[in-house]
């Protein structure tokens, strides 16, 4: 997720409408998004339905459009589950491959984007269970330092620029705050800001109610605001 989106969301008033972040952002800001920012999910529902029809018919170009639009946000969500960039990449590749292989099984008119996120979550859960078993069998020494892997989509700011020192510090603090959110809240925030799903869609992916999604967003926002406010005093 983009740090700018995270800050924008933290600064906004509480929202209980259940709308997607994209809908609220576009409603409050008629200006087009900066084309230099990280690519967002740019498949509106009407295009999603058309793409599904084309993919079901075997249109490789339609599948390529979906792949290019969804790979990064899907990988970011997978990373939030696995905390391993390589595993996140493999999970997304497998999910998209199965989607293409079994494309005719997806009912015409269905939304396939929430389906892909649900498939990623299922694979992420399997990876987590396997990793837990491996950790038990091959416990690492407590003195072994683990390499820090940046959250995909939250690129490390460039070092050495005095004018960006405060921004880099804020970036680091917010990334750490997201990392330390409870797992469910981290999943909800990632689906809301990166995947730009609305509350009912997030609930469908995670198997919880839209009300639980909104509660998770509210609690996560309060936590992240604390990290943000430290830089505004």
pLDDT tens digits for 86-97? 889 999 999 999
Separation of alpha carbons 114 and 202, rounded Å: 8
What is the pLDDT at residue 102? 94
What gap in Å lies between CA 27 and CA 129, rounded to an integer?
Answer: 41
In this prediction the pTM is: 0.65
Total residue count of the chain as it appears in this document: 233
pLDDT of the residue at 6 = 77
Residues 6 or more apart whose CB falls under 8 angstroms from that of 45 comprise 111
Task: Give the pLDDT confidence of 125-157 residue by residue, as tens digits.
Answer: 776 554 444 444 445 444 444 444 344 444 444
Q: Give the CA radius of gyration of the chain.
A: 19
Mean pLDDT of 97-112: 90
Give the pLDDT score at 217: 92
Confidence of residue 31 (pLDDT cuts 50, 70, 90): very low
Distances (CA, A) of 1 to 8, 76, 80, 89, 136: 12, 8, 11, 16, 32
How does residue 117 score in pLDDT terms, banded at 50, 70 and 90? very high
Give the count of alpha carbons within 13 A of 51, CB side only: 22
Tell me the per-residue pLDDT of 206-222, one tens digit each, with 9 for 90 and over.
Answer: 999 999 999 999 999 99
> Half-sphere exposure (CA, 13 Å, Cβ side) for 52?
20
- The per-residue pLDDT for 48 is 92
Could you give the 3-state DSSP secondary structure of residue 199? helix
DSSP 205: H
Distance CA 182, CA 223 (A): 10
Nearest CA to 125 out of 63, 60, 77 is that of 77
Among 77, 4, 2, 17, CA closest to 217: 17
Mean pLDDT of the chain: 76
HSE-CB of 153 using CA atoms within 13 angstroms: 30
């Amino acid at each position: 997720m983009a740090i700018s989106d995270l800050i924008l969301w933290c600064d906004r008033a509480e929202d209980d409408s259940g709308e997607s972040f994209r809908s609220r952002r576009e409603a409050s800001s008629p200006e087009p998004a900066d084309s230099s920012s990280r690519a967002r999910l740019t498949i509106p529902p009407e295009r999603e339905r058309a793409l599904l029809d084309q993919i079901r018919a075997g249109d490789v170009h339609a599948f390529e459009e979906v792949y290019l639009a969804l790979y990064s946000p899907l990988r970011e969500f997978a990373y939030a589950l696995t905390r391993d960039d390589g595993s996140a990449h493999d999970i997304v590749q497998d999910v998209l491959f199965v989607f293409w292989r079994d494309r005719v099984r997806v009912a015409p008119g269905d939304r396939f984007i929430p389906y892909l996120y649900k498939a990623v979550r299922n694979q992420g859960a399997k990876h987590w269970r396997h990793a837990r078993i491996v950790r038990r069998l091959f416990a690492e020494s407590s003195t072994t330092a683990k390499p820090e892997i940046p959250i995909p989509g939250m690129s490390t700011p460039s070092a050495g620029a005095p004018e960006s020192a405060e921004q880099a510090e804020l970036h680091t603090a917010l990334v750490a705050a997201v990392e330390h959110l409870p797992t469910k809240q981290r999943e909800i925030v990632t689906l809301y800001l990166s995947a730009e799903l609305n509350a009912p869609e997030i609930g469908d992916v995670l198997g919880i109610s839209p009300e639980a999604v909104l509660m998770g967003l509210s609690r996560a926002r309060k936590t992240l605001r604390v990290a943000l406010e430290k830089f505004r005093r």
